[in-house]
């Protein structure tokens, strides 16, 4: 999305594949048109394409991991972060948990396992992963399955966490 102001006009331009949404006018007009579009088929089509691209990237990461016995895990995770344009560390930690759970099938992922995934990918891990995990839990983005004792080891994304990650990654 691009926004421009200066002469009292605003503009939103969204391109996803062959779908283009281009709105300009006063801020009020742009907001109203965008709300209308978000309820329509064009928006749904654009969002579906973004989700499909994301799912394709995850499927490719799963396939690469299976074929190579996991040595490519760093590049697969790095590609997932890059393709999803996740630049904020909390979002990257959520993506790491999702990657470990959904791609590698890991149920036990203490901070050292998350840090190793970041290291393998060439990305800088947050200094205090436990603090990030606690804050993500407080925000309702991760939870612990019943019967697990250590939330830092067995974190799973909640529906709210998945929705947040979808919003952050443009899906």
pLDDT in tens, 42-62: 778 777 877 887 788 777 777
pLDDT in tens, 95-148: 999 999 888 888 888 889 999 999 989 999 998 888 999 899 999 999 888 777
Global pTM reads 0.60
Number of domains, the chain? 2
Same domain, 140 and 108: yes
Under DSSP, the state recorded for 141 is S
Same domain, 113 and 90: yes
Same domain, 57 and 34: no
Same domain, 30 and 104: no
Please report, for residues 7, 16, 24, 26, the alpha-carbon distance to residue 4 in angstroms, rounded to integers and kept in the order given: 9, 20, 9, 10
d(CA 85, CA 154): 25
Tokens of 110: 């203490």
For the ranges 8-17, 18-27, 61-70, 103-112, the lowest mean pLDDT is seen at 61-70
Here the CATH number for the domain that contains residue 160 is: 1.10.10.10
Same domain, 113 and 143: yes
Same domain, 82 and 14: no
Structural domain harbouring 121 = 53-168
């Amino acid at each position: 999305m691009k926004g421009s102001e200066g002469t009292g006009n605003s503009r939103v331009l969204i391109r996803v594949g062959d779908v283009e949404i281009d709105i300009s006018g006063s801020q009020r007009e742009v907001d109203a048109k965008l709300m209308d579009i978000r309820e329509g088929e064009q928006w749904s089509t654009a969002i579906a394409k973004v989700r499909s691209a994301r799912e394709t990237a995850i499927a490719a990461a799963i396939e690469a991991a299976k074929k190579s016995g996991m040595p490519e895990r760093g590049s697969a995770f790095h590609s997932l972060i890059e393709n999803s344009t996740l630049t904020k560390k909390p979002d990257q930690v959520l993506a790491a948990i999702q990657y470990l759970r959904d791609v590698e099938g890991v149920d036990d992922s203490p901070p050292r396992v998350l840090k190793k995934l970041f290291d393998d990918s060439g990305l800088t891990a947050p200094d205090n992963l436990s603090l990030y995990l606690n804050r993500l839990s407080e925000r309702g983005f991760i939870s612990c399955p019943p019967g697990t004792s250590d939330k830092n080891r067995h974190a799973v994304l909640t529906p709210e966490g998945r929705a947040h990650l979808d919003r952050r990654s443009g899906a």
